[in-house]
Structure 1
Amino acid sequence: MIPAKISTKERILNESRRLFFEKGYETTSIQDILSALDIAKGTFYHHFQSKEELLEEIAVQFAKEAHAAMQEEIGDLGEGSGLEKIRQALIVARNWKKGKSEEIRFLTESLFSASNLQLRDKIRRKSVDLSFPLFVSLIVEGQKDGSLKSELRADHLTSIIFDLSDDLGEKVAFYLLGRSKESETEVYELMTSYHKTIEGLLGSPEGGLDYFSREDWSELVLLFKGGAAPAPSLEPLPLVANAG
């Protein structure tokens, strides 16, 4: 079978992703991308208006890849409860991120720079649009099968949970980037507090979403900061731990 031809846009995305990862977003110029691909400036601007737009598309690609992995795993669970499917989706998302820790670190460093505040918000909205229907459907399923006791509307619950997740994600990111005064232990305690809050909102049994251990958090911190990668854990992260 003859391989499908890669479009010019895909070539730009793939090469930019590689260069951003190797050199850093801030230090990679559009000229670096043009030189690596041996294309004209006009060809680049035919597909992307700026380097920021390129980073946006790369970040959205990451979100789509993680979302696809979660959907595939949920489909394999068959008759599992809504709560079980949420837990398994989170395990998949966590392990997917661990497998791409260096690229996730590059994205976090890039998107949490002061100059990319608006871009980060734009990417967040696109990621929410992608994941929102999935989590609404899983909460509805959990309410119907009794694994989640909350009587609040599933879309309202999802909105609240995503807002909490985004707030915590920012705090975790600032810690991982060395911009927080809190200690590793304090951030872990904050994460577990958010986790308990979300369990309560969903009406999950106590521990139904599972707490991850202090050791798991330390491994993730080490991985993000460039330490040796630990073996993938079978235990899920808290529902809201989406930045590590």
Structure 2
Amino acid sequence: MDKNLKRMATVHRMQTTGLELFYKQGYYNTSIDDILKTLGMSKGAFYYHFQSKEEFFISIVQQLVFRKVYSMMIEPIEDQNNPFHAIETCLDDALQTAEFNEMDYGFVLANFMNEFNGRNEKIMKFLMDTCKVWEVNIVTALQRGKTDGFVERHVNSEGVAQYIISSYFGIRTLMVNGNCKILRYNYIQQMRNYFRSLSPVVIA
């Protein structure tokens, strides 16, 4: 195997294992030794690729966390006709995935944002950047929806996007130890009602 490809494969394996441990245990409760033990790797090998635990985690956010958020929460609503329908379907699909995940510790982005808020500004910036991309995507979809007649003109797109994201963070936290099926059903029903209130009134 080409040396560069081998290095990329090694780094990806390190990042995947690191994300699993950080997600399960938290960043501050996971040591480099924990990661190395799981990987069966020496410290020398780790520091060949990354200068510090912080740099390692940032690479995970940039590569894995961003991709996860993009594939689950952003890509499904891009270029869709009715933004409310697309967002509702996207949220429901994501919640169903979590519902049937036996190792669910909450929404990965929300977990990390809660953990680093007020503790590490550098890492927090990368997490906030990921969240901002998600927010901008929702705003773009809603603005397009106004033009296409699916969203009332007076709607504050930024406010709606922030509400959607914060409510999703909340429901995912509740689902960790709650009745996932009922929580998902109630959440989607209320979100659907909320979206209806933001849609133009159709007079028969």
Please classify the TM superposition score into its range, dividing by the shorter chain length.
0.5 to 0.7
Aligned counterparts, 1:83-102, within 5 A: 83-99=84-100, 102=104
Pairwise CA RMSD of aligned residues?
A: 4.1
1:26/1:110 contact within 8 Å kept: no
The structure with the greater share of residues assigned to helix is 2
Structure 2: which amino acid aligns with 1:34? L
After superposition, what is the alpha-carbon deviation per residue over 1:97-154, rounded to whole angstroms, capped at 9, x for unaligned? Answer: 545572436765554244235423431113323x2453244123311221112268xx
The answer to whether the aligner puts 1:125 opposite 2:129 as a matched pair is: yes
Separation of aligned partners in 2, 1:8 and 1:142: 43
Q: Which residue of 1 aligns with 2:43?
A: 41
**1:82–1:110: structure 2 CA closer, same or farther, 3 Å change rule?**
closer
Separation of aligned partners in 1, 2:107 and 2:83: 31
Structure 1: which amino acid aligns with 2:88? R
**1:57–1:237: structure 2 CA closer, same or farther, 3 Å change rule?**
farther
After superposition, what is the alpha-carbon deviation per residue over 1:22-79, rounded to whole angstroms, capped at 9, x for unaligned? Answer: 544323211222232232323323433332333344445234223313456447x96x
**1:163–1:52: structure 2 CA closer, same or farther, 3 Å change rule?**
farther
| Offset of residue 13 of structure 1 | 1.2
Q: Which residue of 2 aligns with 1:194?
A: none
Separation of aligned partners in 1, 2:65 and 2:100: 12
**1:64–1:141: structure 2 CA closer, same or farther, 3 Å change rule?**
same
Q: Which residue of 2 aligns with 1:230?
A: 181
Percent sequence identity is: 22
2:83/2:150 contact within 8 Å kept: yes
| Offset of residue 14 of structure 1 | 1.8
Separation of aligned partners in 2, 1:143 and 1:30: 49
* Alignment size in residue pairs: 182
The 10-residue stretch of structure 1 (23-32 or 88-97) with the greater mean CA deviation from structure 2: 88-97
Separation of aligned partners in 2, 1:150 and 1:19: 45
Point out where structure 1 has 5 or more consecutive residues left out of the alignment: 177-216
Q: Which residue of 2 aligns with 1:8?
A: 10
The answer to whether the aligner puts 1:67 opposite 2:19 as a matched pair is: no
**1:97–1:47: structure 2 CA closer, same or farther, 3 Å change rule?**
farther
Secondary structure class of the residue paired with 1:87: helix
Aligned counterparts, 1:179-218, within 5 A: none
Structure 2: which amino acid aligns with 1:126? T
Structure 2: which amino acid aligns with 1:43? A
1:91/1:237 contact within 8 Å kept: no
Point out where structure 2 has 5 or more consecutive residues left out of the alignment: 195-204
**1:118–1:147: structure 2 CA closer, same or farther, 3 Å change rule?**
same
Separation of aligned partners in 2, 1:237 and 1:120: 31
Aligned counterparts, 1:121-200, within 5 A: 121-129=125-133, 131-150=134-153, 157-158=157-158, 160-162=159-161, 168=166
Separation of aligned partners in 1, 2:73 and 2:190: 14
After superposition, what is the alpha-carbon deviation per residue over 1:167-224, rounded to whole angstroms, capped at 9, x for unaligned? Answer: x56xx97xx7xxxxxxxxxxxxxxxxxxxxxxxxxxxxxxxxxxxxxxxx6xx66532
